Amino acid sequence: MLILQHNIGFAWQPRYHDHIIRTRTETNDIAKYIKHNPVQWEADCFYNL
């Protein structure tokens, strides 16, 4: 494994979960979220913390 070969520390991210994208609709929904989410950042109450 690359991690072991290069002695890179590894730990799972907290509150992280995998999701298998199964349909084209899911792919499109996720792409829209990625594209449009940064627009919402300034309205987020945690944005400037």
Which backbone phi and psi does 8 adopt, to 5 degrees? Answer: -95, 125
What rounded mean pLDDT belongs to the chain? 81
* Portion of the chain with pLDDT greater than 70, in percent: 80
- State the first-to-last Cα distance of the chain, in angstroms, to the nearest integer: 37
Comparison of pLDDT for 41 and 30, the residue scoring more: 30
- pLDDT beyond 70 at 37: yes
Instruction: Summarize the confidence of residues 12-18 as an average pLDDT.
Output: 75
pTM: 0.51
Tell me the C-alpha distance between 4 and 35, whole Å.
34
